[in-house]
């Protein structure tokens, strides 16, 4: 397992002479100002002439690469438009990402980003987007040609008062590092990243940062009665594991009770005996996307020394068909004591989460629990690849998640729970069945199943991230591949509402 390299990021004053490539944001409908105007003047208006000829007018989302503007400019100058209105932080993130995408593989070792307003806050926001877009998972590409490799390894945000942005820069770096960890974990194939290897990776990553990492192994789970989770893993030669990551950053007082994040970590989901079709089954290596998000979040919180107590728990299993695998019709006893008839072994994520959610409540009495899971294909039918579904018994928590998602571009949309859906899980032979009666509303019945393991009064939200953990179509801050969805938005949730 070779982690993707994060580019070095820093803030600096606007230099006299630029090293490497330079990217500018351009406000639409107004004259060029600041460093861009100065550079354009020094090369006798060559940049402006190119922009005019190309029809680049600073409209939002438009990008232009200007090559060889003259001796007074670097060989590669990139412009990206912000439109006429003052940009939000997210728009600046996306602008930074577009600038990065233009030059990433063109041979420049560094990219300097210059915001139109010269502020450290804008420079930091550009850096965040650019660094996000600089993610590559090339660990297993041993024959890459130079022009296929990323050349930019240093990104500088140029501004008038770099010292004033030191805290912002540290937070940006923490968020991007956490996001990169989540993406690395999703990219790793299941022959490398099986449950115990995942657990070990978390120890290696997080213990040096001061996170307490505890592994609950199969023997302990058997003794304690984690029957729902163990049933899923029993067909695999790989042992299941639960990892508890505890960040104790609160300094006392009302913020001492922890908040909990729980992740589905199915390192590979064949479906088990209810086996999936072969086409596209390789996607199920990222069926641990919830666990990846929780892991990345814990890394971010630890790196920026968040003043909060946060427990991340991930249930790690492999769902395989085997002589020892769980059968359709099997009845298991969950950690909560409730029994479940497993009618479809491919509805395994909810079985894993049932036991982890129960453990989290019994042990930590959290202020809230948010679970994340690539839980249902039906989520893609409902919301496609653009937004994740949020199901919650608490309006305040749901609204906080929504606000954090809108601010970071990790979009969510609220979905319902309710007795009408929940009752389809009733069962004649056990306390419940693991699938609803028909195929409609499958994401909702899955959420209702989880709700049966939420204790009275416990604030809880479930995020079904099946559609957003991976993208084949380029997204602004991601490119293609694993997205690291929810690391940045959940960090914002904690930072905005749950820190002393
Ligand atoms: N991991 C899958 C959900 C999934 C499917 C995520 C496709 C992303 C893309 C989950 O374990 C699953 O198999 N769910 C079943 C549930 C069904 C058997 C009730 C599904 O969605 O088909
Ligand atoms: Mn499944
Ligand atoms: Zn699954």
CA distance 228 to 216: 15
Residue by residue, pLDDT tens for the chain (500 residues) are 889 999 999 999 999 999 899 999 999 988 999 999 999 999 999 999 999 999 999 999 999 999 999 999 999 999 999 999 999 999 999 999 999 999 999 999 999 999 999 999 999 999 999 999 999 999 999 999 988 899 999 999 999 999 999 999 999 999 999 999 999 999 999 999 999 999 999 999 999 999 999 999 999 999 999 999 999 999 999 999 999 999 999 987 655 789 999 999 999 999 999 999 999 999 999 999 999 999 999 999 999 999 999 999 999 999 999 999 999 999 999 999 999 999 999 999 999 999 999 999 999 999 999 999 999 999 999 999 999 999 999 999 999 999 999 999 999 999 999 999 999 999 999 999 999 988 899 999 999 999 999 999 999 999 999 999 999 999 999 999 999 999 999 999 999 999 98
Does one domain contain both 41 and 136?
yes
Domain shared by 239 and 133, yes or no: no
Question: Which ligand is in closest contact with the Cα of 468?
Answer: 1
- Using the atom order of ligand 1, give the atom closest to the CA of residue 439: 19
Mutate to test the pocket of ligand 1, among 278, 342, 346, 373 (most ligand atoms within 8 A of CB): 346
User: Which residue from 387, 195, 414 is spatially nearest to 291, judged by alpha carbons?
Assistant: 195
CB of 377 shorter than 6 A to ligand 1: yes
- Are 141 and 225 in the same domain? no
For tokens 């991340």, what's the residue?
Answer: 312
Indicate whether residue 464 lines ligand 1 (CB < 6 A).
no
CA of 76 to the centre of ligand 3 (A): 45
Active site residue 350: yes
Contact 211, 306 (CB under 8 A): no
Residue 146 shares a structural domain with residue 206: no
In a domain, 86, yes or no: yes
From the CA of 264, which ligand is nearest? 3
Give the Å distance between the CA of 274 and the centre of ligand 3.
12
Instruction: Give the residue numbers spanning the domain of 63.
Output: 8-159
Claim to verify: residue 323 and residue 203 sit in the same structural domain: yes
Q: Is 349 in the pocket of ligand 1 (CB under 6 A)?
A: yes
DSSP codes of every residue in 354-395: HHHHHHHHHHH--S-EEEEE---THHHHHHTTT-EEEEES-H
* Nearest ligand to the C-alpha atom of residue 266: 3
The catalytically annotated residue of 248, 276, 307, 459 is 276
In a domain, 165, yes or no: no
User: Under a CB-based contact definition with an 8 Å cutoff, are residues 142 and 185 in contact?
Assistant: no
Q: Where do we find the tokens 């609204």? A: 399
Active-site entry in 350, 367, 387, 488: 350
Q: Which atom of ligand 1 is nearest to the CA of 344?
A: 18
Q: Are residues 196 and 298 in the same domain?
A: yes
Is there a domain that residue 23 lies in? yes
| Residue 122 alpha carbon to ligand 2 centre in Å | 43
Q: Does some domain include residue 72?
A: yes
Question: How many CB atoms neighbour CB 109 within 10 A?
Answer: 11
- Distance (Å) of CA 487 to CA 90, 132, 299: 15, 12, 9
Q: DSSP code of 74?
A: -
Domain assignment present for 166: no
The residue whose CA has the least distance to atom 3 of ligand 1 is 376
Q: Collapse the DSSP code of 421 into the 3-class scheme (helix H, G, I; strand E, B; otherwise coil) and give the result.
A: helix
Tell me, using a 6 A CB cutoff, whether residue 281 lines ligand 1: no
Rounded CA Rg of the chain: 24
Structural domain contains residue 444: yes
Asked if residue 146 and residue 183 are part of one domain, the reply reads no
269 lines ligand 1 (CB under 6 A): yes
In terms of domains, do 265 and 374 share one?
yes
Is 435 close to ligand 1, i.e. is its CB under 6 Å away? Answer: yes
Other C-beta atoms closer than 10 Å to the C-beta of 303 total 20
Domain termination residue (choose one: 129, 159, 189): 159
Nearest ligand by distance to the CA of 380: 1
Say how far apart CA 330 and CA 313 lie, in whole Å. 26
What's the CA gap between 253 and 81, in Å, rounded? Answer: 46
Last residue of a domain, one of 132, 159, 186: 159
**346 pocket-lining for ligand 1 (C-beta < 6 Å):** yes
What would the two tokens of residue 427 be? Answer: 């069962």
Q: Mutate which of 228, 264, 292, 376 to test ligand 1's pocket (most atoms within 8 Å of Cβ)?
A: 376
| CATH number of residue 84's parent domain | 3.40.220.10
Q: Is 76 a catalytic residue?
A: no
**Distance (Å) from CA 210 to ligand 3 centroid:** 31
CA of 205 to the centre of ligand 3 (A): 25
Q: How far is residue 489 from each of residues 79, 98, 130, measured CA to CA in Å?
A: 28, 20, 17
Question: Would 486 be classed as within a structural domain?
Answer: yes
Distance from the alpha carbon of residue 241 to the mean position of ligand 2, in angstroms: 18
Ligand 1 pocket, 288 CB below 6 A?
no
Pair (224, 345) in one structural domain: yes
Q: What is the pLDDT of residue 147?
A: 87
Overall domain count for the chain: 2
The answer to whether the CB of 335 is under 6 A from ligand 1 is no
Atom number, ligand 1, closest to the C-alpha of residue 467: 8
Residue pair 190/317 in contact by the 8 Å Cβ criterion: no
CATH code at 209? Answer: 3.40.630.10
Neighbours of 386 (CB within 10 A): 11
pLDDT of residue 12: 98
Structural domain includes residue 3: no
């Amino acid at each position: 397992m070779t982690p993707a390299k994060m580019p070095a990021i820093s803030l600096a004053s606007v230099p006299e002479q630029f090293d490497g490539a330079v990217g500018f944001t351009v406000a639409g409908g107004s004259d060029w100002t600041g460093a861009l105007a100065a550079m354009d003047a020094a090369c006798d208006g060559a940049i402006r002439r190119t922009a005019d000829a190309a029809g680049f007018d600073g409209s939002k989302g438009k990008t232009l690469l200007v090559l060889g503007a003259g001796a007074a400019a670097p060989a590669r100058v990139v412009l990206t438009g912000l439109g006429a209105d003052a940009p939000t932080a997210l728009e600046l993130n996306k602008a930074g990402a577009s600038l990065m995408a233009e030059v990433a593989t063109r041979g420049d070792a560094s990219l300097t980003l210059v915001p139109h307003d010269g502020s450290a806050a804008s420079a930091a926001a550009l850096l965040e987007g650019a660094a996000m877009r600089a993610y590559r998972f090339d660990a297993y590409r041993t024959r890459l040609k130079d022009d296929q490799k990323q050349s930019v390894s240093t990104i500088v945000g140029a501004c008038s008062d770099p010292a004033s942005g030191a805290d912002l820069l540290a937070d940006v770096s923490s968020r991007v590092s956490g996001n990169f960890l989540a993406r690395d974990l999703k990219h790793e194939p299941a022959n490398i990243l099986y449950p115990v290897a995942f657990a070990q990776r978390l120890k290696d990553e997080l213990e040096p940062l001061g996170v307490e990492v505890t592994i609950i192994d199969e023997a302990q789970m058997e003794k304690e009665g984690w029957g729902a989770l163990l049933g899923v893993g029993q067909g695999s030669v790989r042992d299941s594991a639960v990892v508890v990551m505890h960040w104790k950053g609160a300094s006392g007082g009302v913020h001492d009770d922890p908040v909990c994040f729980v992740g589905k970590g199915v390192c590979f989901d064949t479906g088990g005996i209810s086996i999936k079709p072969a086409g596209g089954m390789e996607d199920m290596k990222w069926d641990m996307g919830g666990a990846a998000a929780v892991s990345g979040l814990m890394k971010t919180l630890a790196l920026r020394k968040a003043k909060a107590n946060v427990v991340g728990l991930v249930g790690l299993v492999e769902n395989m068909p085997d002589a020892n695998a769980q059968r359709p019709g099997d009845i298991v006893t969950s950690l909560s004591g409730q029994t479940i008839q497993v009618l479809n072994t491919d509805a395994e994520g909810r079985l894993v989460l049932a036991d982890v959610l129960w453990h989290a409540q019994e042990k930590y009495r959290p202020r809230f629990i948010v679970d994340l899971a690539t839980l249902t294909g039906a989520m893609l039918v409902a919301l496609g690849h653009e937004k994740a579904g949020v199901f919650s018994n608490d309006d305040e928590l749901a609204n906080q998640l929504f606000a954090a998602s809108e601010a970071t571009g990790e979009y969510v949309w609220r979905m319902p729970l309710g007795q009408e859906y929940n009752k389809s899980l009733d069962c004649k032979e056990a306390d419940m069945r693991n699938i609803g009666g028909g195929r409609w509303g499958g994401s909702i019945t899955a959420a209702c199943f989880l709700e049966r393991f939420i204790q009275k009064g416990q604030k809880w939200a479930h995020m079904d991230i099946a559609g957003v953990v991976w993208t084949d179509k380029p997204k602004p801050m991601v490119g293609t591949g694993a997205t690291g969805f929810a690391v940045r938005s959940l960090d914002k949730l904690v930072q905005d509402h749950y820190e002393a």
